[in-house]
Amino acid sequence: MSTLKGKQILVGISGGIAAYKIPSFIRELRREGAEVRCVLTHAAKTFVSPLTLATLSGQPAQMDFVNEAVGSIEWNNHVAHAEWADAIVVAPATSNSIAKICHGLCDNLLTAVLLSAKCPIFWAPAMDLDMFIHPANQKNLSILTSWGHHVWPSPSGELASGLTGPGRMAEPVWMLQALKMGLSDNAWEGKTLLMTSGPTVEAIDPVRFISNGSSGRMGTAIALAAANRGARVELVSGPAAVMPPLHPGIHVHAVLSAEDMLVKCNQLQAGADVVVCAAAVSDYRPAKLANEKMPKVSSLRVDMLANPDILQHMGTVRKDKHPHQIVVGFALETHDAEAKAKAKRLRKQADLMVLNHAGISGEGMHAKSNRITLLDDHGQHPRPQESKADAAEAILDWVENHWT
Ligand code: C5P
């Protein structure tokens, strides 16, 4: 699983300007169902307010070894914080905090927590260009890596000093995905997932086209979940409104028409362990593409040709050439859905058909949630209404239980 639901994440914040982005990271973590606790250095509170962190995390933001209230003084046990955490993310990680840990210094609560921790630790170094590339810092980062800590890249770009170069903190959405990937059991490591997503567009003339409704949300959820389980994802996508964020495991191949999508899938199928066809492929394309914009008329007749069925093609080629490949398709039906999806699974030679229950408010094509039934050789397995992310995890669990 690559979910953060119920995970206890301690966010350690040291004193860098990139701390201003941490509130949105905390919101992303909470949205995923994680419990969040913040420990910050005194330098960090210049850049982000402890009240903001406490409000967004739902827990007091911690800074000191003792908490003083009127008439009492209480030890803020750093070991207890370290034991509470399933993972620690240090973001932004300054050169100073990194160096302290590398040399066993613990003169503040955050460094004491870090030296007591036995859970995975993720570092998002953020500092100015010359500090970042300084041999002392580079040596310290390599020490962290040698201990098995996860050191995230610090992308190049504009820095607070006005210089341009490496040293920026990774973006919160990226950190969220990298954290999920780092905490997953990596069951898909070494596996390649080829998938289609989004709509296809079929040109009528240089400015007009026909297409299908598809947000790309379900495909994005599957691509992200698989990449976070360690897969290499080849995502062949039409122009979708929703695309995954930049992710080290996801390789996007942008296409327009069904024919382009098929060409790209044909190139990639041999290297795939799993093929998931989640695209809403246009069933037809105009028989002729007009070279110039057609004049507006009161009624227009466009001859159409049937498009290739990519899933069916993948299923047939798999049967002949790649018997261990697992092929998954989707079905969206409005009536007699189970029977139609069952027939479709057999016709398209898919191992698994995922039936989307259409027409229920809040579920399906453009919605964020979904209600699916999994159809396989053993019958039908209906699932409750759930987020598309949870539906994606269920589909990947099914695949994991069926590969050889
Ligand atoms: O036949 P229907 O469009 O209902 O089938 C849906 C499934 O087939 C989806 O998995 C979709 O991605 C795939 N499909 C395809 N190529 C087509 C039409 C559908 O891959 N031309």
Q: Is 228 a catalytic residue?
A: no
303-332 average pLDDT score:
96
Length of the chain counted residue by residue: 404
Query: How does residue 291 score in pLDDT terms, banded at 50, 70 and 90?
Result: very high
pLDDT digit string, tens, across residues 139-164: 999 999 999 999 999 999 999 889 99
What does the DSSP 8-state code read for residue 329?
A: E
Taking the centre of ligand 1 as the mean of its atom positions, its distance from the CA of residue 331, in whole angstroms, is 7
200 lines ligand 1 (CB under 6 A): no
For residue 125, whether the previous peptide bond is cis, meaning omega lies within 30 degrees of 0, is no
pLDDT digit string, tens, across residues 33-82: 999 999 999 999 999 999 999 999 999 999 999 988 778 888 999 999 99
Nearby residues of 340 by Cβ (< 8 Å), 6 or more positions away: 331, 333
Q: What is the pLDDT of residue 71?
A: 81
Query: How does residue 359 score in pLDDT terms, banded at 50, 70 and 90?
Result: low
Q: Whose CA is nearest to atom 7 of ligand 1?
A: 330
84-94 average pLDDT score:
98
Q: What is the pLDDT of residue 183?
A: 93
Q: What is the mean pLDDT of the chain?
A: 94
Q: What is the pLDDT of residue 57?
A: 98
Q: What is the pLDDT of residue 273?
A: 98
258 lines ligand 1 (CB under 6 A): yes
Query: How does residue 357 score in pLDDT terms, banded at 50, 70 and 90?
Result: confident
pLDDT digit string, tens, across residues 239-259: 999 999 888 899 999 999 999
Smallest CA-to-CA distance from 24 within 53, 44, 49 is with 53
pLDDT value at 216 more than 80: yes
Query: How does residue 365 score in pLDDT terms, banded at 50, 70 and 90?
Result: low
Tell me how far apart the alpha carbons of residues 124 and 182 are, in angstroms, rounded to a whole number.
Answer: 13
Q: Which atom of ligand 1 is nearest to the CA of 353?
A: 10
Q: What is the pLDDT of residue 175?
A: 95
Q: Which of 77, 212, 266, 291 is catalytic?
A: 212
Cβ–Cβ under 8 Å, residues 39 and 110 = yes
309 lines ligand 1 (CB under 6 A): yes
Smallest CA-to-CA distance from 404 within 337, 299, 322, 333 is with 322
Instruction: Output the CA–CA distances (angstroms, integers) from residue 48 to 40, 67, 86, in the order listed.
Output: 9, 20, 24
Taking the centre of ligand 1 as the mean of its atom positions, its distance from the CA of residue 234, in whole angstroms, is 18
Q: What is the pLDDT of residue 354?
A: 98
Domains of the chain, each with CATH number or no CATH: 8-182 (3.40.50.1950), 192-401 (3.40.50.10300)
pTM of the model: 0.81
Q: What is the pLDDT of residue 370?
A: 86
pLDDT value at 2 more than 80: no
126 lines ligand 1 (CB under 6 A): no
337-353 average pLDDT score:
97
Query: How does residue 366 score in pLDDT terms, banded at 50, 70 and 90?
Result: low
218-233 average pLDDT score:
95
Q: What is the pLDDT of residue 317?
A: 97
Q: What is the pLDDT of residue 246?
A: 82
310 lines ligand 1 (CB under 6 A): yes
Tell me how far apart the alpha carbons of residues 51 and 204 are, in angstroms, rounded to a whole number.
Answer: 56
**Beta-sheet strands, E only, within 170-229:** 192-197, 201-203, 209-211
Joined together, the tokens standing for residue 249 give 């495991």
pLDDT value at 274 more than 90: yes
